[in-house]
Amino acid sequence: MTYPEPRYLGDTGEINATYLPHGAPPDITYQNGGSCTYLATGATTDGKFGLYRWDMGAKPSGPAPHFHRSLTESFFILTGTVRIYNGREWITTVPGDFVHVPEGGIHGFRNESGEPASLLLIFSPGAPREGYFEGIAEWAASGRTDQEFFVKHDTFWVDEK
């Protein structure tokens, strides 16, 4: 593997870093006590990746097994205990654990511990996941049941193996 072709061709560099201070409010707060903070969206990374902080409350929560056709998804556990479905079984992950799921990989994640938990979600490439995260908050409030929303956001539900 080699370095990609340069995308910045200037000679002096640019001042263009972004900063999100610790304690900044989340972008979305869910009814179950969880929240999502947009650290780096696909729009801000020019489509390279998306990075989100997912904070789960003490109530059980998290998506059932599913896969994505166009995205890889990775999980880095920050706090608490998170159960991650690896396509075969639910594994228990703890702070410092990392799980990577390539395109098509069946996965899910849950907090079933009764305590808060937090993780980083990394998507590559940087698809517009914000619409999905905001939409699932609306789903929870409205009780919608159409699958078109999930297909639009490259999320395909499967039964546990």
More confident residue, 17 or 138: 17
Q: What is the pLDDT of residue 33?
A: 87
pLDDT digits (tens, 9 = 90+) for 45-64: 999 999 999 999 999 999 99
The answer to whether the CB of 157 falls within 8 A of the CB of 108 is: no
Question: Rounded CA gap, 116 and 81, in Å?
Answer: 8
Q: What is the pLDDT of residue 20?
A: 95
- What percent of the chain stands above pLDDT 70? 98
Q: Domains in the chain and their CATH numbers?
A: 28-157 (2.60.120.10)
pLDDT digits (tens, 9 = 90+) for 68-126: 999 999 999 999 999 999 999 999 999 999 999 999 999 999 999 999 999 999 999 99
DSSP state of 107: B
Whether the pTM exceeds 0.85: the reply is yes
List of E strands, the chain: 28-29, 35-40, 50-56, 66-67, 72-79, 82-85, 90-93, 98-101, 108-110, 117-124, 156-157
**For residue 161, what are the β-bridge partners?**
none
Which tokens belong to 19? 């900063």
- pLDDT(145) > 70: no
The band of 32, judged by pLDDT with boundaries at 50, 70 and 90, is confident
